[in-house]
Amino acid sequence: MSTIEIRDLTKKFGTFVAVKDANLSVAAGEIVCLLGPSGCGKTTTLRTIAGLERATAGDVVIAGQRVNHLPPEKRDIAMVFQFYALYPALSVGQNIAMPLHREAIGSAEVATRVRKVADILHLRDILDRLPGQISEGEKQRAAVARAIVRDPKCFLFDEPLSRLDVELRHSMRGQIKAVLSNLTKATVIVTHDQLEALTMADRIAIMRDGLIEQVGSPHEVFAKPANVFVASFIGTPQMNLIDAQFKSYGNGKAKVVFDEQDVDLSVHPAVANLKAGKVTVGIRPRAFTVVSKDTRDTIDAMAELIEPMGAETLIHARTKTGSDIRVVVPRDKRVKIGEALHLVPDPAQTHVFADDGKAVRA
Ligand SMILES: Nc1ncnc2c1ncn2[C@@H]1O[C@H](COP(=O)(O)OP(=O)(O)OP(=O)(O)O)[C@@H](O)[C@H]1O
């Protein structure tokens, strides 16, 4: 089975801990993205799986075999780096064929395999060209073709699309995902681009300061962030994270109060059991309804900045004690700078994080 597992993996450089007690398992046919800010340990994790770095503690297991002691070439992994280097003097076809020269197969078999991956990646018509005569997207596809031509146990990609322009990146994401999903190999992709992770991954591992903070499907990490960091990292525009005081009224009714304003949390059963005290409330900018002032509890804020975003408008508003609130409304909802907004958050989409930053859940 083509699987990748890391167990309690720690990687230190001197005394600096780049990756700490990381656990992750990637099933055959699954794409897992390592996502996180610069320096969080994504590349180090990938390089340790590949054998380019040695684990300080813990295990790397590939296809059920512990490989800590094996050099990269014995791990049967294909890697695609951000700076994929194609040999400039060799044709695209010859570049793709390079990894096959280490295998004991005849030239007819090599040609057949190259043609097969060239078909998958739409490179058939440019196999005879030199790298200097093809586009960036074609170079990237050739690098992927070279990685998959050998039928390795699994794939590792390090920021494979970051050199491409936005439009090309968008189309390549879909193409690479489609190719990988037909290959039933475990794949790990490192990226700092959340859109890339959300569109390509079956699951995302979000890292910070060497720690894996949460592993889940794109929907899970967006809809159920495990802590304040994940909540703030996933989603655009960023989730509003508001310091508030929690109050429980019994009977499953609870509220948080900030800026002398109440936010109703009565439908959030786990939250009702919290002790009174300080919490952080997370509300995505699209989880508000803008209402006219009535008897309901509303968050009141004044629109300060209005940013059109195509079909939607992003409003930056400020409460009377100075908290910033981001609200996204449909474009046809006209709001003026200086206008008072009365906001009702959807309780089902209101996240509560306890004092230690962890999400409070049922
Ligand atoms: N060979 C090394 N020696 C010392 N420190 C290193 C080495 N390689 C990486 N680090 C440090 O380990 C930390 C994690 O680096 P890593 O490259 O894994 O981060 P990353 O999440 O991939 O970041 P980026 O997105 O910027 O590439 C960083 O603080 C980095 O400076």
Q: Name the E strands within the chain.
A: 4-13, 16-26, 31-35, 57-62, 65-66, 77-80, 154-158, 186-191, 203-208, 211-216, 240-250, 253-258, 261-264, 277-283, 288-291, 299-308, 312-319, 324-330, 340-345, 350-353
317 CA → ligand 1 middle, Å: 37
Atom of ligand 1 nearest to the CA of 53: 1
Residues 318-334 have pLDDT tens digits of 988 788 999 999 999 88
Residue from 42, 48, 52, 211 to probe ligand 1 pocket by mutation (most atoms less than 8 Å from CB):
42
- Residue 359 is classified by DSSP as B
Distance 18 CA to ligand 1 centre (A): 7
Phi, psi of 110 (to 5 degrees): -60, -50
Average pLDDT over residues 344-355: 86
What percent of the chain has pLDDT above 90?
55
The pLDDT tens digits for 65-91 are 999 999 998 998 988 877 678 899 999
Q: In the chain, how many H helices and how many E strands?
A: 9, 20
The tens digit of pLDDT for each residue in 188-230 reads 999 989 999 999 999 999 999 999 999 999 999 999 999 999 9
- For residue 238, give both structure tokens: 């960023």
39 in contact with ligand 1, CB cutoff 6 A: yes
Q: Ligand 1: which residue has its CA nearest to atom 5? A: 13
Please give the number of the atom of ligand 1 that sits closest to the Cα of 45: 18
Residue 155 and residue 147 in contact, taking contact as beta carbons nearer than 8 Å: yes
Is 86 in contact with 139 (CB distance < 8 Å)?
Answer: yes
Which stretches does DSSP call E strand in 83-163? 154-158
Contact between 294 and 301 (Cβ < 8 Å): no
Question: For the residues 329-343, what does the mean pLDDT come to?
Answer: 91
Helix-, strand-, coil-residue percentages of the chain, each rounded to 5: 30, 35, 35
Nearest one of 232, 230, 202, 197 to 217, comparing CA atoms: 202
pLDDT surpasses 70 at 251: no
Q: What are the pLDDT digits (tens) for 305-321? A: 999 999 999 999 998 87
Mean pLDDT across the stretch 222-242? 95
Which pLDDT score is estimated for 27? 95
Q: What is the pLDDT of residue 270?
A: 67
Pocket of ligand 1 contains residue 15 by CB under 6 Å:
no
- Sorted by where each starts, the structural domains of the chain and their CATH numbers stand as 4-233 (3.40.50.300), 240-353 (2.40.50.140)
Confidence band for 23, pLDDT divided at 50, 70 and 90: very high
User: Ligand 1 centre from 41 Cα, in Å?
Assistant: 6
Question: Mean pLDDT over all residues of the chain?
Answer: 88
Q: Which among 229, 228, 226 has a CA at the least distance from the CA of 217?
A: 226
Distance 207 CA to ligand 1 centre (A): 12
Q: Is the CB of 16 under 6 A from ligand 1?
A: yes
Partnered with residue 166 across adjacent β-strands are none
Most confident of 11-25, 72-86, 266-280, 312-326: 11-25
Q: Ligand 1 centroid vs 56 CA: distance in angstroms?
A: 15
pLDDT of residue 105: 82
